[in-house]
């Protein structure tokens, strides 16, 4: 058992001390065994839970989940501190310097009265400080670990800033039709590799169209998924009410129940 004075209120300094104690010889065996890689997915899960709290507009849950993310940050910093690589203060120092450098309109004498001007300055400064010499560098720097849909949105947006973009939403939508035709052709040919490629192109085209229409593709797909689950639930209840098992029904019969479910939900939402 380690010695630690418990308090009524704790600060970031206390969190750093607690993590240090957990990783110490007299601390927790599980915490001592962890590496960056072993808790990698934990960081992702905690971040997703923050997003969930934001979507739910739940301040208390958000406070809790932000704490869990902060714990992840402190924990990873502690792992590096143990090898004298860097510590939490170094992380704070670097991000503060980055914020000051990237806000010359606040901390310097650069003029930026609109959001567009701020973003333009931000991108230029970011390219310079990260050593990005070409527009391609800005695209390849988008993290490959991002969910594919989010990464596609970000890559498309950066390509737009370099002038590589559709002229309007209609052109972007027309590209969807063109990619759909390519997919149909690949399916007809039975070419599995080409089918995957053309399907990817179709999805990427949908993301670009969403951007031109002012729609967040990630949010749109999330909403559609939730809508599907809701309709699926009602469909299952309707079949169960008729003493039927969904998986035993032909798709044509399920479509009838699906249409009923859609009508019920639509009526409730009006």
Residue-wise pLDDT for 212-224, tens only, equals: 999 999 989 999 9
- 38 in the same domain as 116: no
Question: Model-level pTM?
Answer: 0.70
Banded pLDDT at 1 (limits 50, 70, 90)? low
Count of the separate structural domains present in the chain: 3
Cβ–Cβ under 8 Å, residues 150 and 215: no
User: From residue 88, how far is each of 5, 60, 75, 106 by CA, in Å?
Assistant: 22, 26, 9, 26
Helix axes 217-241, 192-212, angle to 10 degrees: 110
Per-residue exposure over 24-38, b if at least 16 CB sit within 10 Å of its own CB, e if not: eeebeeeeeebeeee
Is residue 167 in a domain? no
In this structure, of 69-83, 135-149, 165-179, the range with the lowest mean pLDDT score is 135-149
- 86 in the same domain as 18: yes
Instruction: Tell me the H-state helices in 57-132.
Output: 59-81, 88-101, 104-107, 115-129
Distance of alpha carbon 200 from alpha carbon 258, whole angstroms: 28
- 123 in the same domain as 94: no
- 112 in the same domain as 95: no
Is residue 240 in a domain? yes
* Res. 181: pLDDT tops 70: yes
Instruction: Tell me the H-state helices in 108-216.
Output: 115-129, 135-140, 148-161, 169-189, 192-212
- 23 in the same domain as 88: yes
- 44 in the same domain as 106: no
In this structure, of 11-15, 89-93, 266-270, the range with the lowest mean pLDDT score is 266-270
Mean pLDDT score, 102-120: 85
Sheet strands (E) in the chain: none
Is residue 26 in a domain? yes
Last residue of a domain, one of 76, 99, 122: 99
- 81 in the same domain as 113: no
Distance of alpha carbon 120 from alpha carbon 112, whole angstroms: 9
Cβ–Cβ under 8 Å, residues 15 and 70: yes
Share of the chain above pLDDT 90, in %: 72
Last residue of a domain, one of 82, 114, 131: 131
Q: Would you state the pLDDT for residue 4?
A: 77
- 106 in the same domain as 93: no
- 113 in the same domain as 54: no
* Res. 8: pLDDT tops 80: yes
Range of the domain at 109: 102-131
- 95 in the same domain as 17: yes
What tens digit of pLDDT does each residue of 182-211 get? 999 999 999 899 999 999 999 999 999 999
Cβ–Cβ under 8 Å, residues 16 and 4: no
């Amino acid at each position: 058992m380690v010695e630690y004075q418990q308090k009524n209120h704790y600060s970031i300094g206390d969190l750093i001390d607690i993590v240090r104690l957990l990783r110490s010889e007299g601390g927790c065996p599980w915490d001592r065994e962890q590496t960056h890689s072993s808790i990698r997915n934990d960081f992702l899960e905690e971040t997703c839970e923050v997003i969930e709290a934001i979507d739910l507009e739940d301040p208390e849950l958000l406070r809790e989940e932000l704490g869990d993310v902060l714990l992840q940050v402190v924990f990873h910093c502690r792992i590096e501190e143990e090898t004298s690589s860097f510590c939490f203060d170094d992380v704070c120092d670097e991000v503060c310097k980055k914020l000051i450098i990237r806000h010359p309109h606040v901390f310097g004498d650069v003029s930026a009265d609109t959001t567009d001007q701020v973003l333009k300055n931000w991108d230029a400064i970011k390219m310079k400080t990260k050593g990005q010499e070409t527009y391609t560098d800005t695209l390849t720097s988008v993290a490959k670990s991002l969910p594919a849909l989010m990464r596609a949105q970000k890559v498309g947006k950066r390509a737009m800033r370099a002038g590589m973009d559709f002229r309007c939403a209609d052109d972007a939508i027309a590209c969807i039709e063109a990619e759909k035709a390519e997919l149909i052709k690949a399916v007809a040919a039975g070419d599995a590799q080409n089918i995957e490629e053309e399907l990817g192109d179709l999805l990427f085209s949908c993301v670009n169209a969403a951007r031109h229409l002012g729609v967040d593709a990630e949010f749109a797909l999330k909403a559609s998924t939730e809508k599907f689950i809701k309709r699926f639930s009602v469909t299952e209840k309707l079949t169960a009410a008729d003493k039927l098992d969904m998986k035993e029904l032909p798709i044509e019969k399920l479509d009838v129940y699906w249409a009923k479910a859609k009508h019920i939900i639509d009526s409730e939402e009006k």
